[in-house]
Amino acid sequence: MPRGDVRTAVLILLGEAERPMHGYQLMHAIAERTGGRWQPSPGAIYPTISQLEDEGLVTVTASAGRKLVTLTDSGRAHIAASGSEDPFTAFPGGFSSIDLRPLLEQVHDAARQVARTGTDAQAEAAARILADTRKALYLLLADGPERTEQTDPRRTEE
């Protein structure tokens, strides 16, 4: 994403939050808002914050070892007047209400356990299962859930 989009995203998030945020919170909020499809690096966020501060659109204050960024009245006026396109519209759907992270952590733990304590044959089987799962997930995105369920060879009829 271009830096202008980072700039607009930071201003929008601060305006919506109506509270100070630090750089990490802003990076996390952008990633969350886009379902993880866009996560600006510190090298994009912090120079943007400095530029916005120089322009008087935000203030930066130190609190508990962190620099908190607050939208100024000028920043609010800039958002209202700018007419900048919302960069989040490039990521329709945002993120799913289903959080897959706990399940991913469980799969990771199971794979690590197989790698540590399983036989070579078990590790090879685990690698095939993980590769098949990866392919199935991409097919899900390409074909939609209905088609993927119909073509999954492991699916059993009830």
3-state secondary structure of 70: strand
Query: Beta 66-71 vs 21-22: how paired, if at all?
Result: antiparallel
Q: Who's near 6: CB < 8 A, 6+ residues apart?
A: 30, 40, 44, 45, 48, 87
User: What would the mean pLDDT of 26-35 be, rounded to a whole number?
Assistant: 86
Question: Using one digit for the tens of pLDDT, what is the confidence trace for 77-87?
Answer: 988 887 666 77
Q: Which domains does the chain have, with CATH numbers?
A: 3-90 (1.10.10.10), 101-151 (no CATH)
- Alpha-carbon gap, residue 55 to 11, rounded angstroms: 12
pLDDT tens readout for residues 108-158: 999 999 999 999 999 999 999 999 999 998 888 787 655 545 555 555 554
Most confident of the ranges 3-17, 88-102, 136-150: 3-17
**pLDDT for the residue 86:** 73
How far is residue 130's CA from residue 132's CA, in Å, rounded to a whole number? 5
Which has the higher per-residue pLDDT, 1 or 104? 104
